[in-house]
A = this chain, B = another copy of it.
Amino acid sequence: MTKKNSSTDILIVEDEAPIARLMEIHLQRAGFSTKTCSNGRKACTLLEENHYQLMLLDRMIPGLRGLDLLRWLRKQETLKILPVIMVTALAQTEERIRGLNEGADDYLPKPFEPDELVARVQALLRRSSHQVIQQQKSTIDVNKDAMEARVNGDRLDLRPLEFKLLRRLMKKPGKVRSRQYLLDHVWGINAFVEERTVDVTIKRLRKTLEKYGLGECIVTVRGSGYRFDEKPHT
């Protein structure tokens, strides 16, 4: 599978190389691009030098303890909103609470299931301005900040309206949205537009998604509307 210019960059701060590698493999397979780093000091530098979308932070790293790094991070004007997942073997509730208090956004106990890793990353991204969905073997990532959607890191060339429509449908995968609902929420409550127009826009959106084998993500529900399917039937 080809990987390229993903904009969804994840920084992995983890000193145990095999674990770091494992994380990388699974995240990359899910369409993210990653950077690993094995000590706290270097992590600071990387964070200041680059822009990441999310950080996976091991609690036990040399150079600076994970919590110290986190505390430092939350004081930096430009970094404090970075979503952070703490990774640690210390699964005790107390430790966990301490991490969350310091500003971790989520928590991944070691050892972890690869799927859980990916799921938590996706979930956290979704809470920031991203919407991330696992679709068969592809990851769809809609980033509202950058106003762009990516499939496995490849940028989708969507028009503004299609982008909004996709976002709206992805907001609640599996739920059917009527044409009227979509008109109200995508076009705007006061838009003076035919209901059939929705069909055409759906068509246009599907056309772009098809290029990535995702043409069937958007399902027509006869008599009701459209639905974004998270796990399309075969």
Q: How many copies of the polypeptide does the oligomer hold?
A: 2
Q: Name the one of B7, B123, B159 contacting A231, with C-beta atoms under 8 angstroms.
A: B7
Residues of B within 8 A of A224 (CB): 147, 160
At the interface, yes or no: A215 with Cβ under 8 Å from chain B? no
Nearest chain B CB to A154's CB is how many angstroms away?
A: 8
CB pair B123 A175 closer than 8 Å: no
Nearest chain B CB to A110's CB is how many angstroms away?
A: 13
Contact A174:B145 (CB < 8 A) given known A49-B122, A119-B49: yes
When C-beta atoms are compared, the residue in chain B nearest to A46 turns out to be B119
Residues of B within 8 A of A126 (CB): 48
Q: Which of A49, A145, A159 has the most CB of B within 10 A?
A: A49
CB pair B176 A123 closer than 8 Å: no
Shortest Cβ-Cβ A-B pairs, 4 listed: A48-B123, A160-B223, A155-B234, A45-B119
